[in-house]
Amino acid sequence: MGFWTTLQFLTIFPAPFRHDTGNKACGESLPYFPLIGLLLGALLIGLHYGLSLIFPASVVNALLVTALVIFTGAHHLDGLADTSDGVIAGTSREERLAIMSDTKVGTFGIIGVFLTLLLKYVTLSSTPVLPALLLMPTLSRWIMVNAIFIFPYAKGNGMGLAFKQGATWQRFAIATAIALIAAVALLKLWGLVLMASLWLMVFGVASYFKSRLGGLTGDTYGAINELAEVLVLLILIIIVRFQ
């Protein structure tokens, strides 16, 4: 049941029937975050091989980035835009949170989204297809569970609060085990290096958000996912050079 709830939260794909999305369901969905990432990765791989029969690599990569935005309903990109506006433009904690709650997107938000999509497009051309397309969405959603579990929540309301309240160590451990199996299966010991490097970098990013906001929010969870996708690809490029 938790898997279908997670599918509803993280993608545009419909579940067989509508599931409860209350506070309890949010918590129960956390272990399945990496599994949804694997599903997205499998779809991207299928698209890659299908589109490669028709288009050159540069066009294929652009279409894959576009497809990922569509599959996720641009939900995490919206969080990245709001976070970029609030964290950079605000002068106080209260003002930053207010800016993030505003439905309008400012200059920093537009720039943040543009640079993130650009980096994904460029780095995809320099990474091995299978680990890149599978681990980019899988580890980014695993690292979201990390951020939800480790860091305090900044507000007294919001959808993100339900996830935080349901973030038990058991659910965190299950999500980590799934991500670990995928990373090691594809990269062996380098998979551990990838996960450790990603964790350290995202911990630094999340700590910065916490210093600016007093904690994390649903928007910062989305921003962390988007930044983690880019970081996975960048780290993979470095790993390939050292293998």
Overall residue count recorded for the chain in this entry: 243
User: Do 122 and 237 touch, CB atoms closer than 8 A?
Assistant: no
**pLDDT block averages, 10 residues each, the chain of length 243:** 82 73 75 96 97 96 97 94 91 90 88 96 93 97 96 84 89 96 96 97 96 94 97 96 82
Q: How many domains in the chain? A: 1
Please check whether residue 25 lies inside any domain of the structure: no
Please check whether residue 43 lies inside any domain of the structure: no
Please check whether residue 4 lies inside any domain of the structure: no
Please check whether residue 31 lies inside any domain of the structure: no
- pTM for this entry: 0.94
Report the alpha-carbon distance of residue 64 to residue 44 in Å, rounded: 6
The pLDDT assigned to 40 comes to: 97
Please check whether residue 85 lies inside any domain of the structure: yes
Please check whether residue 17 lies inside any domain of the structure: no
The pLDDT assigned to 19 comes to: 55
SS3 assignment, position 61: helix
User: Do 73 and 199 touch, CB atoms closer than 8 A?
Assistant: no
The distance from CA 109 to its chain's CA centroid, rounded to whole angstroms, is: 17
Please check whether residue 11 lies inside any domain of the structure: no
Please check whether residue 159 lies inside any domain of the structure: yes
Q: Is 196 exposed, middle or buried (0-12, 13-18, 19+ CB in 10 A)?
A: exposed
Residues of the domain holding 81: 49-237
